[in-house]
Structure formats: structure tokens, C-alpha cells
């Protein structure tokens, strides 16, 4: 794109009128100087802009939301003329941070190169192509400006933020790894997985008396789990449940909650499935942390663009889930149809947990229903710490 100041036209016309009506050598000398300056400025900047080369690189190919990243932009001037004023703006940074890049101004001698390094906090997930980098070149008088957008090769991945939860109350009638509940379902009593300290409510039959006598404290045996211990995480990405004003921030908070719960479950040895009703539906699972990378890859690009209401996703998938499994619902909207579906899940034997990424408060009517059916409710505001909210 080419821009020029309107003052250039007035300057040339003014000098021409002055020369015509003023007469004499001086007015024509001034006119020649003005025209010469304008032509030199134009062709100088045009020549330099065609000889610029731009490259980018990052310290790491991938980071997580919330991490500080660094990107370096190298600009080389292959012209015989110096580049007096070069402004560089990196559009990729705006996409990652949600803020305009302030731009950097440099000066380049002939066959000279300079590196501009920018540090920023990653706010939004995604696979980002390098650039485009907007390069603006002006002459020393600022009369002409050439602006080009340079597309670059390479990608930069921003994965969801993963919060390492130390606890998460499933309120399930199962033992998930080392998470203890009142009833010890799904245990293989022929195989001990590990030994841990006694917690109030543990069965006396599980106490390891030899170890307890040696340590002077009560220790209990954890048994290997059978394959029936399951958790199913449902992430609501139905587009009409999201407010356009807070859409991107709500997406990030919901995904952060989902991936953090998935990580906790897999770490505790729980076979975990993840479902999301985005336009490209998510359906992935794993029995342990060896498959966690698959969850990250699935969630790096998901958006709240789904066409299928959340309650319909629950109805479809719940038919294929073993009764007694833990079902964790992560949603930014709570409404009658969803509440009715949650009640049905509860009544047919699922352990239901509701994680609400707060935009508006849940109505008193819905809160009473949630309480009546003994559904564990977590509220996570857009500015809340997920670890504190989910461990509470």
C-alpha cells in the first residue's frame, strides 16, 4: 500500500505558482529543489521497500496459555540505499494477546540487518502462522510511505493452560487411583497398587498392619482398579450459549477447566473421555497420562461455534456410558433444558458434577434443583483462579 501526505501536492503547486507569478531565478530554483526532493524521496523509498527481507523465529515452538513467549523479527536491507524509517508490526502477537502490537521503529544501513525482539503473555489458544508482518517505510521528510505485509513460513502453537489440581471432589461411589470415597467400587482385591496413609472413613479391612506397626502410623492398601472406573468430561461449546462480548475469554476459561480436570483424572488412573459440541466435534479418551497429549491437540483450536445444543450432546453420549460413571459438565450457561437433562442423568445412576464458568448468576430455581439432587457445583468466574475454584 502506498500513501503520501497531501502537503506534497500543495508544496509542489505552491512552488509552481510562485515560480510562474514571481519570475526570476530564485522561484524557479526553489521549484526545482522541491520537485527534485519529492522525486528522490519517492524513488528512494520505493527502491528500499523492494529489497527488504523479513524472517521470524521463536525460542520455543509451543507454549501454554499464560506463559510468557518471545518472538524475534529479523529485517535485512538488501538495497544500496539506507532505510531511514522502518516500522515493524507483528499481527500474530495481536491474535495471541488480544492487544495491538505497538510496533518498533528501526534504521537500516545498506546491506544491514537488525533484530527486533518482543515479549508477551499468551492469552488465547491456537496454531498461529508466523506473521503477517506489516512493514512501513518512510522517507526522511515523511512525504511518502510504502506499506507491505510479509507472509512468513512457520507456526507457533499455544496450548491450553493446564492447572495441576491436588484434589477434585468427584463425589463418586468409586476409588479413582488414590482419591478415596466412602464406597470402594471397582477395586481388584487380588492386586495392591500402592500404600498410603490412613484417612478417616477408610475401611479397617484395608489397613496394612505390618507397615503401620513399623511406621507407627496407620497405613492402608490401595488396590488396582478394574476397567470400569470411568470419568466423562463434557465441554459445552454451543455457540448460542456464549456472549459475543466475553466469548473468547469464556472459551479459554472453559477449556482450562476441562483440560485441568482431564489431567487430574488421568493422573489418578481414571479412564477419561472428553466430548465437546464444537463445529468439529471432539471425542477422545485415554486410560492414563500417556494419552494426555491427544487431549491437548484436540483442544488447541476448538471454538464456541457448535450447532448442537449441549443437552442433545449429553442425551446422545450418555446412552453409551456405563451407569455409575462420573459425568463432569463444563458449561457457561445453565437453563431449563440442561437442568432437565442433568436430573435424568442423576436419576439413572450417574455421578454428576457441574462446573459453571460464570457469566451470569444461576437462577434461584436452578440452584434449588441442583442442591435437591445433591449435584456438586463449582463456579469459576472469568477472573478466578481455576485451582482455587476447583479444589474448594
> 17-51, pLDDT tens digit by residue?
877 877 777 888 888 888 888 888 889 889 999 89
Q: Is 250 exposed, middle or buried (0-12, 13-18, 19+ CB in 10 A)?
A: buried
- Report pLDDT digits (tens) over 65-76: 999 999 999 999
SS3 of residue 41 by DSSP? helix
Q: In order of start, what are the domains of the chain with their CATH numbers?
A: 48-159 (2.60.40.10), 190-225 (no CATH), 230-391 (3.40.50.410)
pLDDT band (50, 70, 90) for residue 183: very low
- Report pLDDT digits (tens) over 306-342: 999 999 999 999 988 888 889 999 999 999 999 999 9
- Report pLDDT digits (tens) over 250-291: 999 999 999 999 999 999 888 999 999 999 999 999 988 989
Q: Please state, in angstroms and as integers, the Cα–Cα distance from residue 230 to each residue in 189, 200, 262, 270, 313, following that order.
A: 18, 24, 11, 6, 18
Residue 375 CA to its chain's centroid (Å): 29
Extract the C-alpha cell encoding 187.
477395586
The strands making up 62-64's β-sheet, listed across from edge to edge, are 62-64, 155-159, 126-129
| 225 has a pLDDT exceeding 80 | no
Between residues 218 and 122, the one the model is more confident about: 122
Q: What is the pTM of this model?
A: 0.77
Over the chain, what is the mean pLDDT?
A: 86
- Helix intervals (H) in 118-268: 209-215, 247-267
pLDDT band (50, 70, 90) for residue 200: low
Contact by Cβ (8 Å): 352, 346: yes
Q: Pick from 312, 361, 332, 307: which is nearest to 255 by CA? A: 332
- The whole-angstrom separation of Cα 104 and Cα 96 is 18
Indicate the helix (H) or strand (E) that contains 295.
helix 292-299
| 109 has a pLDDT exceeding 50 | yes
Tell me the torsion sign for CA atoms 368, 371, 376, 380.
positive
| 350 has a pLDDT exceeding 60 | yes
Provide the 10 A C-beta neighbour count for residue 278: 22
Q: Which percentage of the chain shows pLDDT scores above 90?
A: 55
pLDDT at residue number 71: 93
pLDDT at residue number 206: 73
Amino acid at each position: 500500500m502506498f500513501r503520501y501526505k497531501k502537503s506534497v501536492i500543495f508544496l509542489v503547486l505552491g512552488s509552481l505558482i510562485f515560480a510562474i507569478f514571481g519570475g526570476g531565478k530564485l522561484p524557479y530554483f526553489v521549484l526545482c529543489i522541491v520537485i527534485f526532493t519529492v522525486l528522490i524521496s519517492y524513488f528512494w523509498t520505493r527502491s528500499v521497500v523492494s529489497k527488504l527481507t523479513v524472517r521470524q523465529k521463536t525460542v520455543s515452538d509451543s507454549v501454554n496459555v499464560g506463559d510468557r513467549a518471545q518472538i524475534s523479527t529479523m529485517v535485512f536491507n538488501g538495497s544500496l540505499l539506507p532505510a531511514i524509517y522502518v516500522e515493524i508490526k507483528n499481527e500474530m502477537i495481536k491474535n495471541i494477546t488480544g492487544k495491538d502490537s505497538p510496533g518498533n521503529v528501526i534504521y537500516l544501513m545498506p546491506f544491514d540487518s537488525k533484530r527486533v525482539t518482543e515479549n508477551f503473555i499468551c492469552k488465547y489458544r491456537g496454531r498461529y502462522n508466523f506473521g503477517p508482518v506489516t512493514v512501513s517505510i518512510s522517507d526522511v521528510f515523511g512525504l511518502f510511505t510504502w506499506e507491505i505485509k510479509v507472509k512468513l513460513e512457520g507456526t507457533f502453537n499455544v496450548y491450553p493452560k493446564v492447572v495441576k489440581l491436588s484434589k477434585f471432589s468427584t463425589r463418586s461411589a468409586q476409588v479413582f487411583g488414590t482419591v478415596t470415597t466412602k464406597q470402594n467400587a471397582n477395586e481388584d482385591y487380588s492386586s495392591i497398587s500402592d500404600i498410603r496413609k490412613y484417612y478417616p472413613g477408610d475401611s479397617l479391612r484395608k489397613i496394612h498392619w505390618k507397615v503401620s506397626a513399623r511406621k507407627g502410623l496407620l497405613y492402608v492398601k490401595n488396590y488396582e482398579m478394574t476397567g470400569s472406573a470411568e470419568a466423562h468430561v463434557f465441554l459445552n461449546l454451543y455457540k448460542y450459549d456464549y456472549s459475543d462480548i466475553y466469548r473468547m475469554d469464556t472459551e479459554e476459561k472453559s477449556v482450562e477447566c476441562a483440560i485441568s480436570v482431564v489431567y487430574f483424572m488421568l493422573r489418578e488412573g481414571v479412564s477419561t473421555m472428553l466430548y465437546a459440541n464444537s463445529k468439529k466435534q471432539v471425542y477422545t479418551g485415554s486410560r492414563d497420562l500417556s494419552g494426555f497429549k491427544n487431549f491437548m491437540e484436540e483442544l488447541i483450536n476448538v471454538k464456541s461455534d457448535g450447532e448442537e445444543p449441549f443437552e442433545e450432546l449429553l442425551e446422545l453420549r450418555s446412552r453409551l456410558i456405563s451407569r455409575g460413571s462420573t459425568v463432569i459438565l463444563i458449561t457457561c450457561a445453565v437453563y431449563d433444558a440442561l437442568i432437565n437433562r442433568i436430573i435424568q442423568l442423576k436419576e439413572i445412576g450417574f455421578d454428576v458434577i457441574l462446573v459453571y464458568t460464570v457469566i451470569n448468576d444461576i437462577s434461584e430455581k436452578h440452584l434449588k434443583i441442583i442442591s435437591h439432587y445433591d449435584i456438586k457445583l463449582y463456579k469459576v468466574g472469568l477472573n478466578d483462579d481455576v485451582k482455587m475454584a476447583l479444589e474448594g
